[in-house]
Amino acid sequence: MLDNVTPIRSAPAPALAPVLGAVARRERIARNAVRYFAFLFIALALVFAAIAAVLQDVFFFRLATEALIYGGFAMGVDLLLGFAGLLSLGHALFFGLGAYVSGLVLKEWTASFWLALGVTLAASTVAGAVAGIIAIRARGVYFALITFGLAEVVSKVVFNTRELGGSDGIIGIPVVQADFLLFTVDSSNAASFFLLVLALVMAMYFALEALLQTPAGRLVVAIKANEHRVPFLGFSAQRYKLLAFILAANVTAMAGSLYPMLRGFVSPELMFFQASGNAVITVILGGVGTLIGPLYGSVILSALKSVVGSYTEHHLIIIGVLFMISVIFFPKGLIGYLRPRLEAWLSRKEQR
């Protein structure tokens, strides 16, 4: 009887080669398109720095530096939302954590830039692991609500803790000097600190981009596509969701650690829901699942707040209306709108 059974044969490798080649080519073009936007962002930032230096305008440098810091915050949110499919409504918890840890290190220990970043990284890893273990057990809106609840609890504890300054936060954080390559950067020098923050934020971007191309990174993306299939591949979906959560906490906390260096103080408001909501809006404006989009979104949002706020007290209402209009006409955000067009151009260029 076994002789009459027709064996199941897999498709010959030569038949799959064109399909696999087309998929690899499409992925390569998509990555190159996003990198174009990343390098364009760096170029625009350097042009801005040159113009601001000529004008000797400290205000614009400070505003742009703050936009970069909040862009790094939003990048962590995008890592969860755009690649793991997890919406965090309490990611300000880690931004505030980074700011407080950095502020305490700089004020109570030593004004060491790299020590502040190192301690922040360690603290955010522990906090991200604890919060992640609690949050990733839930899915969808329940995950979002748990992250929101965690941030609310921690922010209220910080707000009522006298040792952390209570409602006043931590003030009097000293000026920081950082040895970076062959240069020494002073946080009181607006131009040099802007360039340092730009370098660190872009380093985080390229590090995340590289990590997402690894097998672990691809599994994180697979969780967003279909979480239920991941265990059938022999991997734990929960473990890789936790990994993504910790990485997102690291990125956001590292951005937060730069805030007290820029402002010289830290307040509990950095952990409030408004900060988390602004980060989500920033991601949507720039483009979900792009990583570089949040940086563009942060610059746009900061510019709108500054320009519109100089004309009216009701600038938040106007910004809200503009945000709704942008979502209606550009639902995929700025980079989400431009990327397919750039990919099409790169594809045509490659075929010539």
The contacts of residue 33 (CB under 8 Å, 6+ apart) are 339, 342, 343, 346
Q: Helices in 310-352 by DSSP H: which ranges?
A: 315-329, 333-351
The rounded distance, in Å, linking the Cα atoms of 208 and 222 is: 16
Q: Closest by alpha carbon to 242, among 322, 136, 107? A: 136
pTM recorded for the entire structure: 0.89
**Residue positions counted in the chain:** 352
Q: Closest by alpha carbon to 246, among 155, 126, 92, 115? A: 126
Q: How confident is the model at residue 21 (pLDDT cuts 50, 70, 90)?
A: low
Interval 126-158: pLDDT, tens = 999 999 999 998 888 999 999 999 999 999 999
The rounded distance, in Å, linking the Cα atoms of 27 and 19 is: 12
Contact 189, 179 (CB under 8 A): no
- DSSP assigned state of 178: E
The contacts of residue 181 (CB under 8 Å, 6+ apart) are none
The rounded distance, in Å, linking the Cα atoms of 308 and 311 is: 5
**% the chain with pLDDT above 70:** 92
Interval 147-199: pLDDT, tens = 999 999 999 999 998 888 888 889 989 888 887 767 778 888 899 999 999 99
Interval 226-256: pLDDT, tens = 777 878 777 888 899 999 999 999 999 999 9
CATH level 3 topology of 28-351: ABC transporter involved in vitamin B12 uptake, BtuC (1.10.3470)
Per-residue pLDDT, averaged over 32-54, amounts to 92
pLDDT score for 2 = 44
The contacts of residue 343 (CB under 8 Å, 6+ apart) are 29, 30, 33
In angstroms, the Cα distances linking 177 to 199, 204, 262, 263 are: 16, 21, 12, 15
The contacts of residue 31 (CB under 8 Å, 6+ apart) are 209, 213
The rounded distance, in Å, linking the Cα atoms of 155 and 146 is: 14
Q: Helices in the chain by DSSP H: which ranges?
A: 13-55, 58-78, 92-104, 113-135, 140-159, 190-212, 215-226, 237-263, 273-286, 293-309, 315-329, 333-351
